[in-house]
Amino acid sequence: MTGNTGLLTARCDPYGIESTVKLFGGMFPEKMMGRYIWYCAERAQARYQYVCTGGDYGFRRANDGQPVTATHCDGGHKGVVMPLCGRHALELAAGPPRPGFTADRKTPFGQVGGTVSNELCPRCAMPDEARALTGKANELQDKMTRVQYAMLGSGLLVSTVRTPDGQIHDLAAEFARLQAAQDQYRARLDELHERGIIHKCPLRLTEVS
């Protein structure tokens, strides 16, 4: 034990069920949770926190090229404090075991696909500008979807509709306008990736008092 007050009665909480669920470090709302809610029934042995390790990032344009406007990340971003049992402390520090089955071949374990949680700092993967651009691009995508539904509203593909006040609304032109605006946001996101501003910093699990 490390002198953590109340730890003897705390339950392991790697998924936030005992406290607050924060999808992708709080970047996504809880309404996006899946239908299966995971939890751990074991008692916690200590409290831990993910800390961003930092590094230098930037894409190369050619095999002999240098990183394009390489970005240095000081790291230090900190996640929520989590009471963890020994097994989950090991899994979050080193990653989950490879997929397999228990000895009786009845119970699967491990992770198939996806991203191991210690491979990515949410703050580095989604900095403020990228988060704002992604939100705007998603908003435009929703509008484009509504325009597409309007174009197929009668069961036939149409490019214009008549509004209640008798005006002709060009749906095809509206869709093209929205798509062009979205392309600008996505081009800027691609640039942030290339320059290393959007990057994938690894995390280090550290014990806290």
First to last CA, the chain: 10
Name the one residue in this structure whose structure tokens are 């899994």. Answer: 91
pLDDT at 134: 93
pTM of the predicted protein model: 0.71
pLDDT at 106: 76
How crowded is residue 15: how many other Cβ atoms within 10 Å of its Cβ? 16
pLDDT at 1: 42
* Contact of 8 with 43, CB cutoff 8 Å: yes
Distance CA 98, CA 117 (A): 14
- pLDDT tens sequence for the chain (209 residues): 444 554 556 889 887 776 676 776 667 777 767 777 778 889 999 999 999 999 888 876 666 656 565 789 999 999 888 899 998 898 888 876 667 777 887 777 665 555 577 888 989 999 999 999 999 999 999 999 998 888 787 565 667 767 677 777 788 889 999 999 999 999 999 989 888 899 989 999 999 97
